[in-house]
């Protein structure tokens, strides 16, 4: 494989029109991508095999190219994790719609800002949570901490998004399988809950 390959990744959800995927591929080819990865899957699908494949395929000096940021990452935290994986392999990221290129100083700065925004949002959320608890206590309405399994909901959803099975999640978080299924169902991910049930 030659060095400095421009590698494109395109993704659409199962509800998108085929034209959306074709447009992405066309833009990626126009940007000079000589290797293309593509997938069409539900926005709640836990695994993105082609994204995993492209992250495995790229090598030092390559550039991963996407048309828009939301084609690559589902959240700022997801973006930070993906870009960290790319950074470790010395692979740049280019987002056409944002004119973001992490091989440039400006692009690196923009990416660092996104990471800082993610941390800022988390701090704000925690602060609002603390203020809400304090107010509830002052009003005599604070019911105390949630049951352990409910407090682990964020961890359950994160592990599921990483493709972990119900048993993996149960063992990692020390909660019951029933709690895992309930949290997935409450998150509106009935399909994932059902699929997790098949991971016995």
Chain segment 144-182, per-residue pLDDT in tens: 555 566 667 888 888 888 888 888 888 888 888 888 888
Strand, helix or coil at 157? helix
- Spatial contact of 183 and 157, defined as CB atoms under 8 Å apart: yes
- Residues labelled as active-site residues: 13
pLDDT at 199: 47
* Mean pLDDT across 97-124: 84
- Residue 180 contacts residue 200 (beta carbons within 8 Å): no
Model pLDDT, residue 197 = 47
Please say if the pLDDT value at position 1 is more than 70.
Answer: no
**pLDDT computed for residue 193 by the predictor:** 43
Write the pLDDT tens digit of every residue in 20-58.
899 999 999 999 999 999 998 876 677 899 999 999 999
Sort strands 92-95 and 63-66 into parallel, antiparallel or unpaired.
Answer: parallel
66 has a pLDDT exceeding 80: yes
If you average pLDDT over every residue of the chain, what do you get?
Answer: 83
Inform me whether the pLDDT recorded for 190 exceeds 60. Answer: no
HEC assignment per residue over 2-52: CCCCEEEEEEECCCCCHHHHHHHHHHHHHCCCCEEEEEECCCCCCCCHHHH
Spatial distance between the Cα atoms of 93 and 108, rounded to a whole number of angstroms = 9
Percent of the chain whose predicted confidence (pLDDT) is above 70: 86
**What pLDDT score does 90 carry?**
94
Calpha distance 6→63 (Å, rounded) = 5
Give the pLDDT score at 131.
86
Over residues 100-106, mean pLDDT: 90
pLDDT value of position 10: 96
């Amino acid at each position: 494989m030659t060095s400095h390959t421009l590698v494109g990744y395109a993704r659409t959800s199962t509800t998108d029109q085929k034209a959306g995927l074709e447009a992405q591929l066309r833009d990626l080819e126009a940007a000079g991508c000589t290797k293309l990865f593509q997938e069409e899957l539900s926005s709640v699908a836990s695994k993105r095999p082609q994204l995993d494949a492209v992250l495995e395929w790229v090598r030092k000096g390559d550039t991963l190219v996407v048309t828009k940021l939301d084609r690559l990452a589902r959240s700022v935290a997801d973006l930070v994790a993906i870009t960290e994986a790319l950074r470790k392999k010395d692979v740049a990221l280019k987002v056409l719609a944002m004119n973001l290129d992490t091989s440039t100083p400006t692009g690196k700065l923009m990416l660092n800002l996104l990471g800082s925004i993610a941390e800022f949002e988390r701090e704000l959320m925690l602060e609002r949570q603390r203020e809400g608890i304090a107010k509830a206590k002052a009003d005599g309405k604070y019911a105390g901490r949630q049951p352990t399994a409910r407090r682990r909901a964020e961890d359950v959803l994160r592990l599921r998004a990483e493709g972990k099975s119900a048993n993996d999640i149960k063992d990692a978080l020390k909660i019951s399988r029933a709690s895992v299924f309930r949290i997935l169902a409450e998150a509106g991910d009935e399909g994932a809950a059902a699929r997790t049930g098949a991971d016995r």
